[in-house]
Chains A and B, each alone.
Chain A
Amino acid sequence: MSVPFKDVRVRLEELKSSIAEVKGLDISIGYVVEEWEEPPGPTPFPSIITLRKWDHALLSRYKPLYLPYCDLCCLCTYGRCDLSRGKRGSCGLNLSEQQSRLVTLLTAIGASTHESHARELLDKLIERFGEDWPIDLGGEVYVEMPITRLVTGVKPRTLRDLKIVLEYVERQIVQTIASVHTGQEGDWIDYESKVLHLGMLDHVAMEVADVVQVVTLGFPKADPEAPLVDLGIGTVDSSKPVILVIGHNVLPSAAIIDYLEETQQRDKVEVVGLCCTAQDLARYEKKRAKIVGPISWQLRFIGTGVPDVIVIDEQCIYTNIVEEARKIGAVVLAASDKALRGLPDRTYASPDNVVEELVSGKIPGAIILDEERLAEVAVKTALRLSPLRAKYKWSLFDEKTVIEYAKKCTGCRNCERSCPQNLPISVALQKAAKGDVSLLRSLYSRCFACRRCEYVCPVNIPILTLILAASRDAMVNERYRCRAGRGPIQDTEIRAVGRDIVLGTIPGIIAFVGCANWPDGAQDVAEMVREFASRRYIVTASGCSAMAIAMYKNEEGQTPYEEFSGSFEAGGLVNVGSCVANSHIAGAAIKIANIFAKLPLRANYAEIADYILNRVGAVGVAWGAMSQKAASIASGFWRLGVPVIVGPHGMKYRRMLLGDMGNDGVWYGYDAVTGEKVWLGPAPAHLFYAAESKEEAMIMIPKLCMRPADTPQGRAIKLTNYISLYKRFYGEDKLPPDIDLYIRTEGDVPVPYRDEVLKYLKEVGWKEKPVTSNPTIIEDIIEIYKKRRQGGS
């Protein structure tokens, strides 16, 4: 295999010593990658252009439907340029190209963030555990790091092997982001290809980040029975000093736990987390950990006054958190140079002095970039500060104060016009002014606590504080059980389900991932999960969505994690872990191609992605997608042939990737064995889709799980789900109008709806279509299959 760069180069013109004289010495020490049994694949360490052909094949099917957020470009001083209705800017770009350029930029931000996270974990954990630390993901995971193997061709055995992988990702991100500069890329399809490239790099970085922490920090290793942990504001014991950790990098939080254990104070202090740090804290400390909630719970929980010390690491942390902490007399400790927040650097100061400064209020917080020191300061500060700030804990307004504030409302509705959720705040305040706070309380589940309403209130009503005060009981009663992230999927699990997934008899794998920008609150995610797990889809989850799932109990009082098994099986619900653990979901799809179908994995990206697109009925659902990281995660799934559905806020990602159901021509591909050109149908119909409502998403999910390789039995099962959900929402007498596109032969017709479907097919003049069990959208695969049949590589 080729490694595109060298690790070390020593060049000496002349060296004289007492032992010898050397002239013109030039030594390059290349990285030595241990060989593995699989022969080298065609695309090791792909550059931007390597997989362009695959990208163009995908993008010629799934073209962007542009949803410009802004009609102008203001990225250089040629402008601002008006790009409306076909105009081009001074640099020559039009509106479509500008949108694709902006998506490239967003995706680059996301990929860089994961890469930087991975880099920090790798460097620090190598320092602690050594380069020779083995990558051991447990006895049931033999194909470790499938994304890394697929993309780079490296089979990593130790932490050292991951260095070259991250160096590759870093170089490619820099190369790709440079294309966004004025006068570089100029065609939408090549920008979109770069988006896909960045998404793939993002997945490599995520896999490195998660695997490094799993193998070194004792996280569950592919354990379907990873422990259930407490989740919810109501689970926090506010009588103890409380350290709140927020972000995505677990190292500072883990150090706090370690310090508490070492000093035998673990029972004296509550350590609770928000967002992915909480997920990973639960994986680190297992049964004892407490998750407050998803990212949008930040200002809610801080608003309760409960946390004494807030430790921030990186990503998605409310940027004005120092001010928010100050309001409740808490302090902030910043653990990452990516989020310094204007605080003084106390990394090298004596911990006791820093504690003194914090407790006395001399400084509102501090930067401490050394985890052990930070842990000591956090614990000592929490212990001393907690009794001093007892008055803040659960110091929400009483109802009388809420009503008094509500009476100040002038009904201007600036709050509503500023609310990203369009919440009826003004109406709620007017009701509250009359003594009825029920509508105010009802906003709690849909509000994601951004405070935008407060910034525009002309009479300074603390609206968020009123919503929280009205919802005190709801917060106190937030007590749920969430399964700790289990990390990768076992090879044995893949073997057990691979056949049924590819045949379609397991109707799909659905990944509920992403942030907390849900249009109607967390419960929608939980309801969707329950529905599809009950329908025997394989359901996976990660990040804030995995937390949302826990916030819903059935009639027996069980959360979905208690109701469904934690195995990767039909009807299972698998929480893989934090954002970076999304890599295990992509990894599972890759492993189906490798373990079940026995396709070569090593640096064989296009063939595997083509296999997944055509045979593995997987769909990502990022119902509350908000961040740039969510964009890069989605992009990685697209390149791998996995469609992604987002909620209505996801429209703001500037373009969708839609198939044209009305254009028969785009749905042709090939039979990889015969080489014949065949109609594969709109399966999947779209690659990136924003649904307006939960109901629409629930119909779109089974539709996007259909694949050309489905057997008649599998297709019938998938259609049964599609039709039954359609009927549930729109009426028993209705059928989806596009089912004729998905029924290839009468064998595909779902038995429960046979008569009415056949009647409909007759009405629309349906004709039988050929079925292939070897579909591909790239012609090159035909040659590869031929060579393989002839015994070649």
Chain B
Amino acid sequence: MTLEYWLYGDIPPGPIKASVITDIKHVLDIVKRFKSKLFAIGSQITRLSELTSPDLIDRIISVALSLGAWIPTSSPTIVKALDAKNVKNYEIAFPLELAQKIPKKGAELAIFIGYPYAYEWLILNYLKHYAPNVKTLTLEPYAQPNATWTLASLPLSLWYKNICSLEEMLKKGA
């Protein structure tokens, strides 16, 4: 199961497929390679939080902050959480307008988490074909083959543990 790469339903992957990250430590190796990063957080993060743990949102924000990434989000819950933590380097950005802007923003690595599956799948495919210089990493619980790098599809409990591990590793400055 942990190595399963494929997707929901019958969505066909393209000829250029993501590299699958099977060990969460590898995420650190990837993010270290890029200076300019954005960490886009979608509205579905609240649903993932309901299904895993109430502290998920805090952990995701912690990961984004540890990476020093610019945080675009359209989720009211995330905005409130960022305000509560007095985070300043975020922007309320709607995903499509964000996708349109990403190639112009000079971001080298765009990280995605918390978006509806097919919605993110298509945004990643836009970036893959039309902004090939922007590398993408998805931290969703389900594999996204249009990203440059994706986590494998994992049971939510394992995925949540991975997110916790990632947060810990980043905090320790690994």
Contact A422 B8 (CB under 8 A): yes
Segment from B22-30, B56-64, B96-104, B163-171 that makes contact with A: B96-104
Beyond A419-B8, A662-B104, A731-B79, whether A65 also contacts B96 by CB under 8 A is yes
Within 8 Å by CB of B14, from A72, A416, A422, A656, lies A72
- B173 interface contact, C-beta 8 A: no
B75 at the interface (CB under 8 A from A): yes
The answer to the question of A413 belonging to the interface, with a C-beta cut-off of 8 Å to chain B, is yes
**Chain A residue with minimal CB distance to B76?**
A729
Task: Kindly report which residue of chain B lies nearest to residue A738, judged by CB atoms.
Answer: B97
Residues of A within 8 A of B3 (CB): none
Q: Give the contacts of B46-96 with A (CB-CB under 8 A).
A: 51, 74-76, 79-80, 83, 91-92, 94-96
Residues of A near B14 (CB, < 8 A) are 68, 70-72, 84
Given A71-B16, A419-B8, A730-B76, A427-B156 contact (CB < 8 Å): yes
> Are B125 and A71 touching (Cβ within 8 A)?
yes
> For B80, B83, B99, B129, which residue has the most chain A Cβ atoms within 10 angstroms?
B129
Provide the bound-state CA to CA distance between A84 and B9, in Å.
22
Q: Say yes or no for A693: interface residue by CB 8 A criterion.
A: yes
Which segment of A39-47, A349-357, A623-631, A645-653 sits at the interface? A645-653
When distances are taken between beta carbons in the complex, the residues of chain B under 8 Å from A649 are 118
Specify which chain A residues have a CB less than 8 angstroms from the CB of B15 in the assembled complex: 71-72, 82, 84
Q: Cβ of A765 < 8 Å from any Cβ of B?
A: no
A418-B9, A730-B92 are contacts. A85–B128 as well, Cβ < 8 Å? yes
Shortest A381–chain B CB gap in Å is 37
Chain B residues in 8 Å Cβ range of A66: 126, 129-130
Which A residues between 464 and 498 are near B, CB-CB below 8 angstroms?
none
How far, in whole Å, are A693 and B73 apart by their CA atoms in the complex? 12
A95 CA / B92 CA spacing, docked (Å): 31
Given A72-B14, A427-B51, the answer on whether A737 and B123 have CB atoms closer than 8 Å is: no
Q: Which of the residues A422, A689, A737 comes within 8 Å of B96, measured between beta carbons?
A: A689
Near B by CB (< 8 A), chain A positions 190-243 give none
From A86, A692, A734, contact of B94 by CB (8 A): A692
Q: Please determine whether B9 and A452 come into contact, CB atoms closer than 8 angstroms.
A: yes
In the complex formed, the residue of A with least CB distance to B101 is A662
Inside 8 A of A424's CB, which chain B residues have their CB?
51, 156
Neighbour of B43 across the interface among A82, A95, A690, A695, CB < 8 A: A695
8 A Cβ contacts from A69-115 to B: 69-72, 82, 84-86, 95
The reply on A343 being an interface residue by CB < 8 A is no
B149 within 8 A of A: no
Determine if A65 and B155 form an interchain contact, defined as CB atoms under 8 angstroms apart: no
- Chain B residues 99 to 131 lying within 8 A of chain A, measured CB to CB, are 99-101, 104, 115-119, 122-123, 125-126, 128-130
Q: Would A651 and B75 count as touching, CB distance under 8 A?
A: no
Whether A67 is near chain B, meaning CB under 8 Å from some CB there, is: yes
Number of interface residues of A (CB under 8 A): 48
Cα A734 to Cα B126 with chains together (Å) = 30
The complex places the Cα of A72 from the Cα of B129 at a distance, in Å, of: 12
Q: With a CB–CB cut-off of 8 A, which chain A residues contact B134?
A: none
CA distance A66 to B95 in the complex (A): 14
Residues of A within 8 A of B9 (CB): 417-420, 452
Asked if B7 CB lies within 8 Å of chain A CBs, one says: yes
Question: How many interface residues does B have (CB within 8 Å)?
Answer: 46
CB distance from A760 to the nearest CB of B (A): 14
The answer to whether the Cβ of A609 comes within 8 Å of any Cβ in the partner chain is: no
Q: Which residues of B contact A67 (CB under 8 A)?
A: 122-123, 125-126
Chain B residue at minimum C-beta to C-beta distance from A649: B118
Most B CB contacts (10 A, CB to CB) among A71, A418, A420 go to: A71
Q: Which residues of chain B from 3 to 23 have any CB-CB distance to chain A below 8 Å in the complex? A: 7-9, 11-12, 14-16
Q: Within 8 Å of chain B (Cβ to Cβ): is A658?
A: yes
Specify the chain A residue showing the minimal Cβ separation from B99: A65
Instruction: Tell me, yes or no, whether A779 is within 8 Å of chain B by CB.
Output: no
Verify if B153 is at the interface (C-beta below 8 Å from A).
yes
Chain B neighbourhood of A85, CB < 8 A: 16, 128-129, 132
Indicate with 1 or 0, residue by residue over A115-137, a CB within 8 angstroms of chain B CB atoms: 00000000000000000000000
Main secondary structure of the interface of A (DSSP, over half): mixed
Q: Does chain A have a CB within 8 A of B142? A: yes
Do the beta carbons of A692 and B119 come within 8 Å of each other? yes
Minimum CB distance partner of B44 in chain A: A422
B100 engages A658 (CB within 8 Å)? yes
Q: How far is the CA of A411 from the CA of B1 in the complex (A)?
A: 11
A730 to B79, CA, bound (A): 6
The complex places the Cα of A731 from the Cα of B82 at a distance, in Å, of: 12
Does A328 interact with chain B (Cβ within 8 Å)?
no
Query: What residues on B are CB-neighbors of A662 within 8 Å?
Result: 101, 104
CB pair A651 B119 closer than 8 Å? yes
Interface centre among A413, A648, A695, A729 (most CB of B within 10 A): A648
Cβ-defined contact, B95 with A692, below 8 A: yes
Are the CB atoms of B12 and A70 closer together than 8 Å?
yes
Interface residue A784 (Cβ < 8 Å from any Cβ of B): no
Least CB distance from A673 to B in Å reads 33
Nearest Cβ on chain B to A120's Cβ, whole angstroms: 33
The answer on a CB contact under 8 Å between A68 and B125 is yes
Complex Cα distance, B42 from A253, in Å, reads 45
Residues of B near A69 (CB, < 8 A) are: 11, 122, 125
A170 close to chain B: CB less than 8 A:
no
Q: How far is the CA of A427 from the CA of B155 in the complex (A)?
A: 10
List residues of chain B with CB within 8 A of the CB of A690: 96, 119
Q: Does A303 make an interface contact (CB < 8 A)? A: no
A82–B17 CA distance with the chains assembled, in angstroms: 13
B94 adjacent to A696 (CB under 8 Å): yes
Q: Which residues of B contact A84 (CB under 8 A)?
A: 14-16, 128-129
A278 CB-CB contact with B under 8 Å: no
Chain B residue with Cβ nearest A651: B122
Q: Are A71 and B116 within 8 A (Cβ)?
A: no
* Interface contact B118-A71, CB-CB below 8 Å: no
The verdict on A700 contacting chain B, using a C-beta distance below 8 Å, is yes
Q: Given A65-B126, A692-B43, are A519 and B116 also a contact pair (CB < 8 Å)?
A: yes
Residues from chain A with Cβ under 8 Å of B122 in the complex: 67-69, 651-652
> Per-residue CB proximity of B141-174 to A under 8 Å, as 1/0?
0100000000001011000000000000000000
In the complex, A660→B12 CA distance in Å? 30
Q: How far, in angstroms, from A65 to B123 measured CA to CA in the complex?
A: 10
Q: Which residues of B contact A412 (CB under 8 A)?
A: 1
Q: How far is the CB of A214 from chain B (nearest CB, A)?
A: 38
Q: Is A457 an interface residue (CB 8 A)?
A: no
User: Nearest Cβ distance between residue B49 and chain A, in whole angstroms?
Assistant: 12
CB distance from A649 to the nearest CB of B (A): 7
Q: Which residues of chain A are near B153, meaning CB under 8 Å?
A: 417
Is A58 part of the binding interface, using a Cβ–Cβ cutoff of 8 Å? no
> Which chain A residues lie closer than 8 Å to B129 at the CB level?
66, 68, 71, 84-86, 95
Fill in one digit per residue for A731-750: 1 if any B CB lies within 8 Å of its CB, else 0.
10010010000000000000
Distance (whole angstroms) from the CB of B45 to the closest CB of chain A? 11
Asked whether A417 lies within 8 Å of B43 as measured between CB atoms, the reply is no
Do A693 and B74 have beta carbons less than 8 Å apart?
A: yes
Q: Are the CB atoms of A731 and B83 closer together than 8 Å?
A: yes
| Closest residue on chain B to residue A413 by CB atoms | B155
**CB of A93, distance to nearest CB on chain B (Å):** 14
Q: Which residues of B contact A68 (CB under 8 A)?
A: 14, 122, 125-126, 129
Query: What residues on A are CB-neighbors of B132 within 8 Å?
Result: 85
Asked whether any CB of chain B lies closer than 8 Å to the CB of A661, the reply is: yes
Is the CB–CB distance between B118 and A652 below 8 Å? yes
A427 CB contacts on chain B under 8 angstroms:
51, 156
Contacts of B11 in A (CB 8 A): 69
Q: How far is the CB of A740 from chain B (nearest CB, A)?
A: 15
* 6 other A-B residue contacts (CB within 8 Å) besides A68-B126, A72-B14, A658-B96: A71-B14, A422-B44, A660-B100, A695-B74, A729-B76, A731-B79
13 A-B contacts, Cβ less than 8 Å apart? Answer: A70-B12, A71-B15, A86-B129, A411-B155, A417-B8, A420-B9, A420-B118, A422-B117, A427-B156, A693-B43, A693-B74, A695-B43, A700-B94
Q: Which 8 A-B residue pairings sit nearest by Cβ, starting from the closest?
A: A71-B14, A67-B122, A693-B43, A648-B119, A729-B76, A648-B116, A651-B122, A417-B8
